[in-house]
């Protein structure tokens, strides 16, 4: 039996992807790869509905999936751009041996939200540079052709998919070379 079904992973902007799937046919897990939760209904339904997240909190009866399992479900259900971008995000967690359960919030203990980790800060810095480029291009009326954009090109970002990843890598290399990032 597949442990992860009804998989979706979508880009919300600012280098943020939201992953959602039904796990073990009993809970819905949702993560932005920084914070993770498990609920009795899909997170997007709570977010668009009553927004009482704690009321919908549900813990799985078996250990949560590994990041590798999450990534495999993304590979099986998502487009190449998402696979590439999320793969880069997950490299950090997998390289540091972090399990998904390390990111599950305990709603009942009212544990404080973890502070952003070094990788999240790194991604935010790079994202700000890319957004500055996007704003500049938008102001000049420049639209970069890209086959990876969503069906509605008007709503898609100008720097998207593998273009985003390539530019991100170049900016990161420059910031490392000049000592801004390690």
Distances (CA, A) of 2 to 18, 24, 103, 104, 106: 20, 8, 22, 21, 25
Work out the number of other CB atoms within 10 angstroms of the CB of residue 146: 17
pLDDT given at position 153: 53
**DSSP-assigned letter for residue 53:** G
Q: What is the pLDDT of residue 118?
A: 56
- pLDDT value at position 100? 55
| Residue 68 near residue 87 (C-beta atoms within 8 A) | no
Token pair of 112 as six digits: 């404080």
The model's pLDDT over 7-56, given as tens digits with 9 standing for 90+, comes to: 999 888 777 889 999 999 999 999 888 778 889 999 888 888 777 888 88
Token pair listed for 63: 């250990």
Structure tokens that stand for 94 in this block: 């997998």
Q: What is the model's pLDDT at position 101?
A: 53
pLDDT per residue as tens digits for the range 83-135: 888 887 777 655 554 555 554 443 334 333 333 455 567 777 887 888 888 88
- This prediction has a pTM of 0.54
182 or 43, greater pLDDT: 43
What is the predicted pLDDT for the residue at 92?
A: 62
What SS3 state is found at 17? strand
């Amino acid at each position: 039996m597949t442990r992860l079904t009804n998989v979706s992973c979508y880009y919300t902007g600012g280098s943020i992807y939201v992953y959602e799937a039904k796990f073990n046919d009993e809970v819905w897990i949702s993560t932005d790869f920084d914070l993770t939760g498990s609920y009795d209904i899909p997170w997007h339904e709570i977010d668009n509905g009553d927004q009482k997240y704690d009321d919908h909190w549900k813990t799985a009866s078996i250990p949560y999936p590994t990041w590798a399992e999450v990534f495999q479900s993304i590979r099986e259900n998502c487009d190449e751009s998402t696979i590439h971008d999320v793969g880069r995000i997950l490299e950090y967690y997998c390289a540091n041996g972090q399990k998904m359960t390390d990111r599950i919030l305990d709603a009942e203990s009212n544990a404080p939200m973890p502070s952003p980790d070094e990788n999240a800060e790194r991604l935010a810095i790079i994202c700000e540079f890319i957004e500055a480029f996007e704003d500049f291009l938008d102001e000049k009326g420049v639209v970069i052709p890209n086959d990876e954009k969503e069906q509605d090109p008007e709503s898609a970002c100008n720097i998207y998919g593998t273009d985003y990843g390539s530019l991100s890598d170049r900016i990161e290399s420059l910031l490392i070379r000049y000592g801004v990032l390690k």
